[in-house]
């Protein structure tokens, strides 16, 4: 009988929850709910935080519903200091915001001995020295856009794994946030967010510094839904530990941006200052094997679902070390770890494969958006032509590789692998039977890492699958894609990672866009500011063969 009151209470609570969820779509209730969101947010936007209260039950404070409400009711001003309108200029003047103070946030901040910061030569002009400065200081700096005063912060807010980190600063009358993110840029300062005037001020190019309002809606939804935890974190008087955040799941960005950043702090000078490496993803192998320089107790692993609350509950101050130059030293680490985590057969087979064959062509396959329509026929034709010229020719076919730690493959990945297997089988059917070939579709990424060291030339789709073979092999290759990509998105290929991500002088060749025929049918990626140029395409594979043959003829390797 004692269980009846509890049972009744649970039923009533569930009934109330369903009732509130049903009526929240009524205009009057929705507006009142929005006002309550703003009330919570306003309490968190005070210089001195007091106890925060809300009349909304916790089950109504879910992020998707809050984001929807913000999308319907809130507006933002986005200011690009490089391309300001007259209205923007009047606005910042009216709100006592100064452009020179904004611009100062883009530069290495004064008051530091920059001679102590390693001079990593990135191929752009963006400041990343603040990452190492932050580790040394155990706080991050920003210039107040209203007063020009240099401020310190040891409070980092992470709305989601892999997303921007928002650092909270106490300005003259209002707090503001510095957003740091964008993997492809090496995790740099992207914008300032000023809640009191609902304004975003860009600290970089509009193309990547501002990806759309979803990022701010998401951040605000996080503040509102988790306000109790955030209040506790912001008012915690204990000096927080400093943690290097390694949460990039994509293998190419992990190599290009995370491991390059980690290499900068894998020294006693910086390693001893880090309380821990906070790791959620290790697609290229265990971080403690890739970088054994750190102490054993400095490797802390969490899931993506745990990381957001963990930062708040454990009072952490996080900084992502990042970079954009993939060095031979990083690739050597990856190769060593691949060998250590793979059965010896694959290394022996790769060595024998190399000893028997020249030239070895590495060809990629890709399905879904931005794929070569007749790739199976094209790759087989090219391989068969090489075989007629070089009797010891061999082929490697690479596709989706399973990252380290990805034990459970989701439906999307399963479908990708299944579609690529169809292409792979068609290549098998069309190949000269005397051609020796290795297929790495749906195989562990360590296998493709090992074999990549033994190829001579590659034919690859533009994008991550090209970066993988180019970084791993440091060999010449040929890239194909649709007209827009080959012409250079925005009219230039200058900023493509294929050209800017390494110090190597071995750069890829891109096919002429004029030989391409674009094909419709690509699936749009949604409301993103990035121009992915997703069209499928086709071309006469003779063009690729002619270019690849020129590359092989320039090689100094003799036939075996």
DSSP conformation letters of 39-102: HHHHHHTSSS------SS-GGG--HHHHHHHHHHH---EEE-GGG--HHHHHHHHHTT--HHHH
Asked, as a colleague might, if the bond just before 359 is cis with ω within 30 of 0, I would say yes
pLDDT for position 50: 85
**Mean local confidence (pLDDT), 353-369:** 96
CA angle, residues 426, 381, 496, in degrees to nearest 5: 90
Predicted local confidence at residue 173, as pLDDT = 87
Q: What CA–CA distance (Å, rounded) separates 427 from 473? A: 23
Q: What is the mean pLDDT of residues 529-539?
A: 77
The pLDDT of residue 476: 96
d(CA 90, CA 533) in angstroms, rounded, equals: 36
Q: What is the pLDDT of residues 172-186, one digit of tens each?
A: 889 999 999 999 999
- Using DSSP's 3-state secondary structure scheme, residue 392 falls into coil
- Distance CA(4)–CA(8), nearest Å, equals 6
Are 56 and 36 spatial neighbours (Cβ–Cβ below 8 Å)?
A: yes
All domains in the chain, ordered by first residue? 3-73 (no CATH), 77-319 (no CATH), 341-553 (3.40.50.2000)
Of all helices (H) and strands (E), which one includes residue 313? helix 304-313
State the pLDDT at residue 118. Answer: 46
Tell me which H or E stretch contains 396.
Answer: strand 394-398
Secondary element (H or E) of residue 327: none
* Adjacent-strand bridge partners of 169: 176
- Note the pLDDT of residue 26: 65
* Tens-place pLDDT, residues 412-434: 889 999 999 999 999 999 999 99
Cβ atoms of 511 and 478 within 8 Å: the answer is: yes
What are the angstrom distances between the C-alpha of 368 and each of 117, 302, 365, 520? 43, 31, 10, 12
This model's pTM is above 0.85: yes
CA 289 → CA 292, 331, 398, 443, distances in Å? 5, 13, 25, 21
Instruction: Label the pairing between strands 316-319 and 241-246.
Output: parallel
Q: What pLDDT sits at residue 207?
A: 80
CB 517 within 8 A of CB 276: no
Least confident of 34-38, 150-154, 381-385: 34-38
CB 57 within 8 A of CB 14: no
Tell me the mean pLDDT in the region 441-464: 96
**Model confidence at 188: pLDDT above 50:** yes
pLDDT-derived band at 53, boundaries 50, 70, 90: confident
Tell me what pLDDT residue 119 has: 43
Q: Which of 367, 541, 329 is nearest to 465 (CA)?
A: 367
Per-residue DSSP letter, 83: G
pLDDT at 115 over 50: no
Do the Cβ atoms of 290 and 296 come closer than 8 Å?
no
Phi, psi of 241 (to 5 degrees): -75, 155
**Least confident window among 119-128, 254-263, 526-535, 544-553:** 526-535
Q: Which residues have a Cβ under 8 Å from the Cβ of 61 and sit 6 or more positions away? A: 54, 224, 225, 227
H or E stretch at 530: none
Average the pLDDT over 136-159 and give the result: 96
Q: What is the mean predicted confidence (pLDDT) over 506-512?
A: 95
Which tens digits make up the pLDDT trace of 73-93?
Answer: 999 999 999 999 999 999 999
First to last CA, the chain: 87
Q: What's residue 536's pLDDT?
A: 93
Tell me how far apart the alpha carbons of residues 216 and 34 are, in angstroms, rounded to a whole number: 16
Q: Is the pLDDT of residue 240 over 50?
A: yes
Per-residue pLDDT tens digits for 274-298: 999 999 999 999 999 999 999 988 9
Helix (H, G, I), strand (E, B) or coil at 362: strand
CA nearest neighbour of 361 among 116, 529, 549: 549
Q: What is the per-residue pLDDT for 439?
A: 97
Strands 188-194, 199-202: pairing is antiparallel
Contacts of 348 (CB under 8 A, 6+ apart): none
Residue 194's closest CA among 288, 97, 276, 129?
97
CA–CA–CA angle 105, 107, 113 (5° rounding): 115
Backbone angles phi, psi at 215, to 5 degrees: -65, -40
Residue 285 tokens, joined? 């192998």
Note the Cα 394 to chain centre separation in Å: 34
Q: What is the mean pLDDT of the chain?
A: 90
CA geometry: angle 475, 506, 384, nearest 5 deg = 40
In the structure encoding, which two tokens stand for residue 342, read together?
């793979």
Residues 325, 329: Cα–Cα separation, whole Å: 11
How large a percentage of the chain has pLDDT more than 70? 89
Taking the C-alpha atoms of 479, 484, 485 and 491 in order, what is their torsion angle to the nearest 10 degrees? 120
Residues 6+ apart with CB under 8 A from 105: 142, 143, 145, 178, 189, 192, 203
* Residue 39 confidence (pLDDT) above 60: yes
Output the pLDDT for position 117. Answer: 43
Helix axes 63-73, 214-225, angle to 10 degrees: 130
């Amino acid at each position: 009988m004692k269980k009846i009151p509890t049972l009744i209470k649970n039923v009533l609570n569930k009934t109330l929850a369903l009732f509130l969820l049903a009526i929240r779509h009524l205009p009057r209730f929705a507006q009142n709910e929005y006002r309550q969101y703003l009330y919570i947010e306003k309490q968190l936007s005070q210089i001195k935080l007091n106890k925060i209260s809300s009349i909304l039950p916790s089950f109504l404070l879910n992020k998707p519903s809050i984001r929807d409400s913000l999308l319907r009711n809130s507006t933002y001003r986005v200011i690009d200091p490089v391309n300001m309108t007259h209205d923007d200029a009047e606005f910042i003047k009216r709100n006592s915001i100064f452009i020179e103070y904004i611009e100062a946030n883009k530069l290495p901040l004064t008051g530091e001995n920059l001679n102590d910061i390693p001079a990593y030569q990135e191929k752009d002009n963006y400041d990343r020295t603040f990452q190492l400065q932050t580790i040394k200081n155990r706080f991050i700096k920003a210039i107040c856009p209203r007063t020009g005063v240099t401020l310190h912060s040891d409070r980092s807010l992470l709305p989601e794994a892999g997303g921007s980190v928002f650092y909270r600063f106490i300005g003259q009358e209002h707090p503001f946030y510095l957003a740091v993110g964008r993997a492809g840029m090496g995790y740099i300062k992207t914008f300032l967010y000023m809640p009191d005037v609902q304004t975003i001020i860009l600290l970089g190019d509009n193309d990547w510094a501002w990806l759309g309002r979803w990022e701010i809606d998401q951040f605000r939804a996080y503040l509102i839904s988790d306000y109790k935890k955030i209040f506790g974190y912001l008012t915690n008087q204990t000096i927080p530990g400093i943690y290097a955040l390694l949460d990039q799941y994509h293998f190419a960005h992990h190599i290009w941006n995370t491991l390059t950043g980690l290499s900068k702090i894998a020294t006693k000078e910086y390693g001893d200052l880090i309380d821990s490496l906070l790791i959620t993803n290790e697609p290229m192998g265990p971080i403690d094997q890739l970088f054994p320089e750190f102490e054993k107790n400095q490797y802390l692993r969490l899931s993506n679902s745990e990381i957001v609350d963990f930062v708040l509950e454990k009072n952490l101050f996080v900084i992502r070390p990042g970079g954009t130059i993939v060095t031979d030293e990083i690739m050597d680490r990856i190769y060593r770890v691949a060998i250590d985590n793979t059965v010896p057969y694959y290394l022996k087979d790769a060595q024998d494969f190399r000893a028997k064959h020249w030239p070895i062509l590495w060809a990629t396959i890709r399905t879904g958006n931005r794929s070569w329509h007749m790739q199976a026929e094209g790759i087989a034709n090219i391989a068969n032509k090489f075989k007629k010229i070089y009797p010891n020719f061999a082929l490697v076919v690479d596709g989706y590789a399973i990252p380290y730690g990805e034990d459970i493959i989701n439906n999307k990945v399963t479908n990708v692998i299944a579609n690529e297997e169809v292409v792979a089988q068609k290549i098998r059917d069309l190949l000269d039977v005397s051609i020796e070939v290795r297929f790495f579709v749906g195989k562990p990424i360590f296998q493709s890492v090992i074999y990549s060291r033994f190829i001579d030339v590659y034919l690859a789709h533009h994008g991550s699958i090209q970066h993988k073979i180019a970084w791993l092999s440091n060999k010449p290759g040929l890239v194909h894609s649709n007209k827009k990509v080959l012409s250079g998105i925005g009219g230039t290929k200058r900023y493509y990672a294929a050209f800017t991500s390494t110090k190597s002088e071995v750069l890829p060749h891109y096919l002429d866009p004029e030989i391409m025929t674009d094909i419709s049918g690509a699936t749009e990626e949604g409301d993103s500011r990035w121009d992915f140029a997703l069209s499928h395409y086709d071309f006469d594979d003779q063009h690729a063969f002619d270019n690849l043959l020129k590359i092989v003829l320039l090689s100094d390797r003799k036939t075996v």
